[in-house]
Chains A and B, each alone.
Chain A
Amino acid sequence: MSAAVITVSHLRKTYGATVAVDDVSLEVREGEIFGLIGPNGAGKTTTMECVEGLRRADRGIISVLGLDPVRDASALRQRIGVQHQDAHLQKRIKVWEAIDLWASLYGRTVEAGALLARLGLEGKRDAWFMTLSGGQKQRLFIALALIHDPEVVFLDELTTGLDPQARRAIWALVTGIRDRGKTVFLTTHLMEEAERLCDRVAIIEHGRLIEMGTPADLVATHCPERRVVFTSDSPGVAERLKDAPGVRHATTEGQTHTLHGEGDDFVTGIIHAVARESIHVRGFRTEVPTLEDVFLKLTGHGIRD
């Protein structure tokens, strides 16, 4: 297991009478993409901003790269890159001017031209910020977060409001950051995003951390059930397959049959049984629970936009 680069223990943060974050403890390891997931208002951003040193925690201990985010703020800023939710820049700042300014603030920087090229912004060097599309703005913010080659990158809701193509392009970039050996700490309320990107996730709701682990482990622990759905015109097929390993029960609706079950051998068992019984199958698919199902189960409600 890699070393922890971020350690948060018993973090608490209140705004007046509102408890935004309550007793949150977590650990982000070197070289992973760690996602803080939960609905809007759950306390994700507050947690992240305490870790970045932008907010002072009421209680708890935070360590990032062995530094205290508030006390060692200036040393830490040289080593972390941040992107904020709903951030903007000056309307009429040019892309290269922003990159230039940011680059001038850090002791060590990567080559700006190559960075812009990697983020697909080389053609937008002279464009004003206000003329960029949503996806281009977010890519510029990623560039600003990466200009000083930081060890840890913080990304807060970076694909909110983007169309699916732009979102996928950003996902590829984030994976690329991890593949260059950086640690990524992100927040998202999109379960699909968390499942695609994150090596590990923590689910937070009403300021409390309710579960943490790899997406696959969380699904296996909380939603182990699988479904095989197939269509067949052979009579009584569901009946003939219900003794296959792992099958709990079967339902039939017209020519569509659904087998519910769990376990590693569940799907394989059904495939074997279908072959053995020589059942003629016209369509066949498996349905696996997702992080969204886990969230639904743990919180009793779906994620809200």
Chain B
Amino acid sequence: MLKGLWALAWLETKIFAREPMGLVGTLGLPVVIFILLGRAFGAGGRSVPGAAQAPFNVAILAALLIAVSAVLSLVAIMAIYREGGILKRLRATPLAPLTILSAHVVVKLGFTLASLALLMAAGRQFFPGAMTPHWLGFSAALLLSVLSILSLGFVVASVVPTARFAQPVGAAVLYPMVVLSGLFFPIEALPRTLEVVAWGLPTTHAVALMQGIWDGGGWAAHWDHVAGLATIFAVCAAVASKTFRWE
């Protein structure tokens, strides 16, 4: 089943890296926003002396942006590949359908790690002492979050009619999710209905898990969010396997 997965993933990585705009958006933008906001409010939830108190953890926002840009990019690539008949052409090879899609997940997870590494480097450079999470645990939390949000991305990619609509539809789905994620204001402050909705979204669990790990909590203390991300992944993967269109 995995035959061709690494070959295809490596190839897609190279292809993605050849598109300057995609690379800047994926790797550069979250880091730039992190540095700018970190300068204004402080990074890692600690305020910079003389600056306003950070209303939220800027590093978590940057991590969330990494996840969102990965998903937006995935939705766009799926729509373009479908419209261009690339998915159909790949499907006529001995590659298993799951392998073709998994390769793109692998690519996105790879770029997520690269973005996070850049983020860490920027944190060390610009905000020494402010970035003190357990990085291995935080990377794992981010990867799990990205995986879960990517599965939702496949559902979105299934319903996007054409490549032209991919970015706007993806943005329309993801940005409200970011607002409701609990990063900017507590979920408990939301009306009851919205609160329930928010806990059904992967971004909310992602923020809760990443914040918890950032603050030094163990995984056991956040099993509910791990379970939330895993459940959303399972549901979205099941839905996407029924609704995904290859042409």
Which residues from chain A sit less than 8 Å from chain B, CB to CB?
52, 54, 74, 77-78, 82, 84, 86-93, 97, 100-102, 104-106, 128
Residues B85 and A84 in contact, CB atoms below 8 Å apart: yes
Q: Cα distance A105–B14 when bound, in Å?
A: 19
Contact with A along B70-95 (1 / 0, CB 8 A): 00000000000100111011011111
Partner of A52, one of B7, B92, B94: B92
- Classify chain B: how many residues form its interface, as a range: 20 to 34
Once the chains are docked, how many angstroms separate the CA of A33 from the CA of B152? 46
Report the nearest B residue to A86, measured CB to CB: B85
CA distance A104 to B2 in the complex (A): 13
| A87–B88 touching, CB < 8 Å | yes
A87 adjacent to B19 (CB under 8 Å): no
Docked-complex contact A101 and B4, CB < 8 angstroms: yes
Q: Within 8 Å of chain A (Cβ to Cβ): is B15?
A: yes
Closest to B4 in A: A105
* B128 smallest CB distance to A (angstroms): 39
B4 in contact with A104 (CB, 8 Å): yes
B26 to chain A, nearest CB (A): 15
Taking the closest CB of chain A, its distance from the CB of B76, in whole angstroms, is: 13
How far, in angstroms, from A90 to B92 measured CA to CA in the complex? 15
Q: B11 contacts which of A52, A74, A78, A97 (Cβ < 8 Å)? A: A97
Instruction: Give CA–CA (A93, B91) in the complex, Å.
Output: 17
Contact with A along B134-168 (1 / 0, CB 8 A): 00000000000000000000000000000000000
Report which of B4, B15, B84, B95 forms a contact with A88, defined as CB distance below 8 A.
Answer: B84
Which chain B residues border A86 with CB–CB below 8 Å?
Answer: 85
Q: Give 8 A-B contacts (CB < 8 Å), ordered by A residue.
A: A87-B89, A88-B85, A93-B15, A97-B11, A101-B4, A101-B8, A101-B11, A104-B4
Q: How far is the CB of B165 from chain A (nearest CB, A)?
A: 19
Residues of B within 8 A of A88 (CB): 84-86, 89
The answer, among B4, B14, B89, B95, for a CB contact under 8 Å with A89, is B89
B192 interface residue (CB < 8 Å to A) = no
Q: Across the interface, do B86 and A89 meet the contact criterion of CB distance under 8 Å?
A: yes
Min Cβ gap B244→A in Å is 15
Q: Are A77 and B92 within 8 A (Cβ)?
A: yes
C-alpha gap A89/B88 in the complex (Å): 10
Residues in B with CB closer than 8 Å to A104 are: 4, 7
Chain A residues with Cβ below 8 Å from B91 are 54
Interface pair B4/A92, CB less than 8 Å apart: no
0 or 1 for each of B154-186: is its CB under 8 Å from A? (1 = yes)? 000000000000000000000000000000000
Nearest chain A CB to B197 CB, angstrom units: 34
Chain A residue numbers with a CB within 8 Å of B18 are: 92, 128
B242 within 8 A of A: no
Q: Is the CB–CB distance between A105 and B94 below 8 Å?
A: yes
CB B86 to nearest CB in A, in angstroms, measures 6
Decide if B92 touches A82 in the complex (CB within 8 Å): yes
CA of A126 to CA of B14 in the docked complex: distance in angstroms? 13
Could you tell me the distance between the alpha carbons of A82 and B90 in the complex, rounded to whole angstroms? 11
A89 to B91, CA, bound (A): 12
Q: Is A105 a contact partner of B88 (Cβ separation < 8 A)?
A: no
| Bound-state Cα–Cα, A77 to B115, Å | 38
